[in-house]
Amino acid sequence: MRPPVHLRRARPEDLAAVGEATVAAYASFVAGRNDPYLDKLRDAGARDREAELWVAVAEDDRTVLGSVTLCPDGSSWREVARGDEGEFRMLAVDPAAQGQGVGLALVEHCLDHFREQGAPAVVISSLTEMSAAHRLYGRLGFERLPDRDWSPLPGVDLICFERVLA
């Protein structure tokens, strides 16, 4: 059964839970407990200050089920967007809430947000191994954008997707 999900901007009291849920969601995609990327995943406060951190919370408005970082133009969190394209990063659903529509709600929120901003498209990058996320993106109309695939570090290959909005 799909839990009721409420989406809102993150609050200071959410940040620790967002960080831990993000680390848990990415656990199988990092290089162990000492992977330096874990610090970035855990630092929800930086994402909230330097971009727009949104959370999916349960009906009680306290239990964080997932989060996503919207990367507006000018944000240091943007990686692959150009011009007025939208971009989001670090889509994460707590493992206990996966498969219940939380990721879908978060991505639909991103699409609606950027559509309202007048963005012609939303572009994202994802690890090649994140096949469940890729299936979700495909269901929502994202298409591969191989000319923007990139590698931030040796051995870390990111593939890009685009959803045209206009």
Q: What is the pLDDT of residues 67-85, one digit of tens each?
A: 999 999 999 999 999 999 9
At residue 2 the predicted structure's pLDDT band, cuts being 50, 70 and 90, is low
Q: Are 68 and 107 in contact (CB under 8 A)?
A: yes
Between CA 71 and CA 64 the distance in angstroms is 20
Q: Tens digit of pLDDT for each residue in 17-27?
A: 999 999 999 99
Residue 31: DSSP 8-state: S
Q: Model's pTM, two decimal places? A: 0.93
The torsion angles phi and psi of 84, rounded to 5 degrees, stand at -100, 20
Determine the pLDDT at residue 43.
97
Q: Where are the domains of the chain?
A: 6-119
Residue with structure tokens 């848990």? Answer: 24
Angle at 102 between CA 96 and CA 71, to 5 degrees: 115
- The CATH number of 6-119 is which of 3.20.20.70, 3.30.70.1050, 3.40.50.2000, 3.40.630.30? 3.40.630.30
